[in-house]
Amino acid sequence: MRILVCISSVPDATSKINFTEDAKAFDKNGVQFVINPYDEFSLTRAIWFQEKQGAEVTVLTVGGAEVEPVMRKALAIGANEAIRVDSQPVDSFSAAKKIAKVAKEKKFDLILTGIESIDYNGSAVPGLLAAMLDYTFVNNCIQLEIEGKEAHATSEIDGGEEKLSFTLPAVIAGKKGIVNEADLKIPNMRGIMQARSKKLEVITGINVETQVKYQRFEKPEPRSSVRLIDKDNVEELARILHEEAKVI
């Protein structure tokens, strides 16, 4: 089984976010980048199939040379090889289009992604990719088992879970549950050393018309200061809620 895992390079959740002076782009200076956490769950599941069923795992990222440290980490975790599509992922449609071209040429049995990237939270790439390839699509996947060409998945839906059975090829958008958080792979020294010699192929991205143009980025308004009221002063609390906050 040949598995493609699509990963994104995203700012670490603890990073301080700033924008350029014209507010038209994200300022990457001083920001630490990591594998998108949702993608890491799917990558770990792919490595499980590699260890248990002999699957061949390829990771793919759309981005410039600056994303290669994150790709090397994926290789250190256990992926067999990596592909970098040399193009900036401006919007979900263009990113999916570029991934689809590689997937068609390489003919993967299974494509795993995260449900979304934590920087833009678009959740669009997996579904677009499945539609472009005409593959079965499972979103919010929290369990996945594969035997030969037959697959069984559990998808998280509003108010419950959905059990699905289907035939590969397929695109699966995974999240926490497809593996447990405790099972996430951490690169060891042997894996880091091996990653240096693993293949990292760079492919020129196809030209795709951009569907989105960013006009301006703005930070949310800072939170107001917290006002503490003594727990026994119920009358004062009621007065503030009524006269100042005007919520009652």
- Domains of the chain, earliest start first: 2-223 (3.40.50.620)
More confident residue, 101 or 210: 101
pTM comes to: 0.85
Mean per-residue pLDDT, 72-90: 94
Phi, psi angle pair for 65, to nearest 5°: -60, -20
CA distance 163 to 152: 7
Average pLDDT score over the chain = 92
Token pair listed for 237? 């609390």
pLDDT at 137 > cutoff 90: yes
Specify the range with the lowest mean pLDDT, choosing from 59-63, 73-77, 87-91, 161-165: 87-91
For the chain, the straight-line distance linking the first and the last C-alpha, in angstroms and rounded, comes to: 61
| pLDDT digit string, tens, across residues 177-224 | 999 999 998 888 999 999 999 999 999 988 888 888 888 888 888 887
β-sheet bridge partners, residue 3: 57, 110
CA distance 205 to 98: 6
* pLDDT-derived band at 126, boundaries 50, 70, 90: very high
Mean per-residue pLDDT, 84-110: 93
